[in-house]
Amino acid sequence: MRKPIIAITPKTWKGGDEEEMYCYVFPNFIHCVSACGGLPVQLSCLEGSFQPSDFENLLNHVDGVLFTGGPDIHPGLYGEELLDCCGSLAPERDALEIPLMQKALEMDKPVFGICRGFQVLNVATGGTMYQDLNTQHKSSTHIEHQRTKPEERDRAMHTVNVMKDTPLQTFTGGLLQIGVNTLHHQGVKKLGDPLCSMAIADDGIVESAYYPGKKFAMGVQWHPEILGLDNKVANNLFSAFVDACAKNMK
């Protein structure tokens, strides 16, 4: 029996003497997918790689899509002006990931969004974002979400409150509070419709959500691929995603 084929969205960088654009996927994502029984395949978001009409054909050849972390989504995609507090952008990723997410949801393909990938799920369903949490989000409880020191990347730096009777609660073994690592400066302002929250930080920021009625369509704001599969919740998330992809095979 074949393994489920899981497409992974890439990051981009410019390198070489002529500033050529390259695509790559962090090894953590590849390891987590393959260790849980999936066959990871890297996508390309270079200009000309895809036309809008290609997405259905692509999705007919894979069993699920993992949307990875990276730069900010352009605020114009959720109806806002670009502010100075917004971070670096990746229009080539927006052009791939927003329509790919929308088509995957339409076709009920399993999708899992991590950090930016969670934000892609939110924007693709009509949600909006804080362009910078420290600048725009006001709360009596302060959480520093952008913990980027190397020694902090794989540590739980704050807790999130897990909503009862959600898929995430099953992945936590029933726990209603878990520790997460945190590497983002943006966050969900308005949740897309019909997404439902699965976890909220103490400062009120939605840290996880899912699309009810889909085979598997959910995202988390933290980085389970960095926490690694020794982390029970991270392992359960990746295992459930790959299992959903396996069940989706034709």
Question: How does residue 61 score in pLDDT terms, banded at 50, 70 and 90?
Answer: very high
Query: What is the band of 56 on the pLDDT scale with cuts at 50, 70, 90?
Result: very high
115 a catalytic residue:
yes
- Measured CA to CA, the distance from residue 165 to residue 197 in angstroms comes to 11
Q: Examine the residue annotation and report whether 158 is marked as an active-site residue of this protein.
A: no
What tens digit of pLDDT does each residue of 63-90 get? 999 999 999 999 999 999 999 999 999 9
Averaged pLDDT of the chain: 94
184-216 pLDDT, tens digit per residue, is 999 999 999 999 999 999 999 999 999 999 999
Catalytic residue among 115, 145, 158, 184: 115
149-175 burial: b if 16+ Cβ within 10 Å, else e: eeeeeeeebbebebbeebbbbebbeee
When pLDDT is cut at 50, 70 and 90, the band that residue 249 belongs to is: confident
| Residue 130's pLDDT band (cuts 50, 70, 90) | very high
Residue 250 pLDDT class (50, 70, 90 cuts): low
Q: How far apart are CA 71 and CA 59, in angstroms?
A: 24
Residue among 83, 101, 81 nearest 93 (CA): 101
pTM: 0.96
Exposure on the CB side of residue 197, measured as CA atoms within 13 A: 16
Active-site residue, from 36, 45, 207, 225: 225
- Annotated catalytic residue within 86, 158, 223, 245: 223
pLDDT greater than 80 at residue 18: no
Catalytic residue status for 145: no
Task: Tell me the mean pLDDT in the region 160-177.
Answer: 97
